[in-house]
Structure 1
Amino acid sequence: MTVKPSPASMPLVSVLIPAFNHEDFVQRCLDSVLDDPYPAKEIVIIDDGSTDRTAERIEAWLATHGAAMAVEYVSRENKGIAATLNELAARARGEYLRIGASDDYLLPGGSDVLVRYLIEHPHKGAAIGDCIVVDRHGAKILDSGMSDLHHANKRQYFSDDGIRRAVISHWAIGGPVTMLRKSALETVARWTEGLRIDDWDLFLRLAARDAIGFVDEKVCAYRLHGANFSKTRHTATRIVNLTEARQVALRRLCMFDEPDRTLLRAEAFRIGAKIAFLQGRSWLVALQMMAYLSLLLLSRIRPVPQRRRVGET
């Protein structure tokens, strides 16, 4: 029988918020952390060189609410999302790190759900939940980010094998749904600076170690507001993002056993087909898709080896 810890003994959660040009949303984000009933928490927030009034809005919130909970705030020049997340993690005092986003907001009870999962599963380095999807005004437009926005099969996330396949080939994690055990960053290293699509790289490294668990609860609200970085329709930017993702896939092949290594190689070809399509090279699309489908079939017929969980000897 699992003994639930009392509220007084709950571990400290550091909510990490990288803020950049979200003047319309950052105060709602901060309010959501304050309103979350989880008892042991702090905010660590960095304004990453915003050119709008984000810093002004943060300072106004601190003037009103800063005495209500522990907050560390830094405003500095722009260094990018990965460098900002690494700095946030270094400044955090908590055993658990809740990854926030200044345009999204937390839902009450989400931190408690994620902390309890990690306490009950000490071999896991990260826990992810689901989210609702809201518009720029905060009105709910989708009930599940995973199922309704990304069209994922959530049943796949209830096993280590399923999570590895999902992270490799159907990225369905959006918004601040993640809680990390701070010690997990020491195992897989932190965010890779210089990357624009930094979260997939981190989750690949965690998935390769079977370090991710899933809780089928809505823990945050993911806001679609027309300027989401991952939703850009600008062709040149999409090509740059996809080229980086393909490089990440190839770089992380060595971390996976078969058949996941073959599946990740297949994904690199699928990404290559998307790049070729955006470049208008139909002949290359066909070649990349042929390679993708061949490797996808091979990944499905290769035997699955017995794997050890993280932390097992």
Structure 2
Amino acid sequence: MSGDVPANTAALPLVSVLIPAFNHERFVRRCLDSVLQDPYPAKELIVIDDGSTDRTAERIADWVATHCMDIPIEYVHRDNRGIAATLNELAARANGEFLRPGASDDYLLPGGLDAQVRYLLAHPDKGAVIGDSVVVDQDGNRLHDSGMGLLRGGSKSLYSSDDGIRRAIISHWAIGGPVALMRRSALDTVDRWSEGLRIEDWDLFLRLAARDALGFIDVSVCAYRIHGANLSRTRHTATRIGNLAESRQVALRRACLFDEPYRTLLRAQAHHIGAKIAFLQGQPWSLARHLLAWSWLRLLSKLRPSSGRHGVEAA
């Protein structure tokens, strides 16, 4: 289903808001409402229910039936294929110059789209821009004013330069929620999301950072919701080990995209992740080995001068 983009928005770049939905029957309407309520006028909404087993698909369908004349909408309900495959399909279905990936348990904050669009229009050399988030609980009560500064312990000051962004993405991963607006052209350049990964966002942001393609605005663009089913915050030890092992493989695989000293810094981060795995597995000798390698490589990254080149081409 779809409506028509109002004529008076023709001069504005179209933003495609991409929502992969899975088992979020309690939260998905708030997510969809936030897209409709955001004042940026030139937008469309693409939603895929990725094989939900609860009433998520039914609630999306009801919402679409109510609002199909208010905003251009495309809605697909299909079998489960995973988050990365769903994001890639959403991007393929989108018509916008800019793509705004979301999450069906989070929601946009008014004004965020306009701020991010303005940044990318003013910085044609950037392929994507990230903002901050506020953190809310399952009932929508605010827990933190900054997902980046408080929830993840990140320092916003790192994001003021290309060097700082590369270091932050590599060593201080502090992205709380879906906070990126991307140019379609930039996403095509880095070959979209890597299917088969569960922690797919870090992989994509590493590839963008390697090209100095990421910018930052200190604006809260979404509400990141913490609840019992957040994949990245699971307390299940085996799942945590699996997520960490995947992240370590991503770090090792993407190191070749960076020049020095960032390549060494990413190798150090792989050992830091390895230390976390060893701790969870109760392997003290492996823990000590990884910590020693991490310390040495961190020191080495500080001693190695920059090559003066940007990140190499993504394979």
TM-score, structure 2 as length reference: 0.95
Q: Deviations over 1:148-192 (max 9, x none)?
A: 101111010010000001110111112121001000112111100
Distance 2:178 2:276 in 1: 27
Deviation at 1:65, TM superposition (A): 1.3
Partner-residue secondary structure (3-state), 1:252:
helix
CA contact (8 A) 1:106 1:176 kept: no
Alignment map for 1:182-221 (pairs within 5 Å): 182-221=184-223
> Could you tell me which residue of structure 2 aligns to residue 76 of structure 1?
78
> Could you tell me which residue of structure 1 aligns to residue 107 of structure 2?
105
Distance 1:271 1:49 in 2: 32
Deviation at 1:308, TM superposition (A): 4.9
Q: Which of 126, 129, 135 is matched with 1:127 structurally?
A: 129
Partner-residue secondary structure (3-state), 2:25:
coil
CA contact (8 A) 2:108 2:221 kept: yes
Distance 1:107 1:186 in 2: 27
Structure 1 portions without partners, runs of 5+: 1-5
> Could you tell me which residue of structure 2 aligns to residue 247 of structure 1?
249
Q: Which of 62, 65, 74 is matched with 2:64 structurally?
A: 62
Q: Deviations over 1:9-62 (max 9, x none)?
A: 110000000000000000000000000000100000000000000001101111
Distance 1:291 1:141 in 2: 36
CA contact (8 A) 2:46 2:90 kept: yes
Distance 1:185 1:150 in 2: 25
Alignment map for 1:148-297 (pairs within 5 Å): 148-297=150-299
Deviation at 1:309, TM superposition (A): 9.1
Distance 1:258 1:307 in 2: 9
Q: Which of 89, 97, 101 is matched with 1:87 structurally?
A: 89
Distance 2:297 2:64 in 1: 53
- Note if 1:96 corresponds to 2:98: yes
> Could you tell me which residue of structure 2 aligns to residue 28 of structure 1?
30
Q: Deviations over 1:110-163 (max 9, x none)?
A: 000000100100010000000100011111110000001011110100100000
Partner-residue secondary structure (3-state), 2:69:
helix
What letter matches 2:307 in structure 1?
A: P
Structure 2 portions without partners, runs of 5+: 1-7
Distance 2:168 2:40 in 1: 30
> Could you tell me which residue of structure 2 aligns to residue 10 of structure 1?
12
Deviation at 1:306, TM superposition (A): 2.3
CA contact (8 A) 2:167 2:262 kept: yes
Q: Deviations over 1:221-254 (max 9, x none)?
A: 0000121000001000011111111111111111
Report how many residues are paired: 306
What letter matches 2:103 in structure 1?
A: A
Deviation at 1:7, TM superposition (A): 5.6
Once the two structures are aligned, what percentage of the paired residues are identical? 70
What letter matches 1:95 in structure 2?
A: E
CA contact (8 A) 1:168 1:267 kept: yes
> Could you tell me which residue of structure 1 aligns to residue 4 of structure 2?
none
Partner-residue secondary structure (3-state), 2:68:
helix
Distance 2:294 2:64 in 1: 51
Distance 2:10 2:50 in 1: 34
Distance 1:9 1:308 in 2: 34
Distance 2:178 2:169 in 1: 16
TM-score, structure 1 as length reference: 0.96
Distance 2:211 2:298 in 1: 22
Deviation at 1:305, TM superposition (A): 2.9
> Could you tell me which residue of structure 2 aligns to residue 3 of structure 1?
none
Q: Which runs of 4+ in 1 moved over 6 A?
A: none
CA contact (8 A) 2:208 2:214 kept: yes
Query: Structure 1's 141 and 272: CA in aligned 2 closer, same or farther, altered over 3 A?
Result: same
Distance 2:112 2:178 in 1: 10
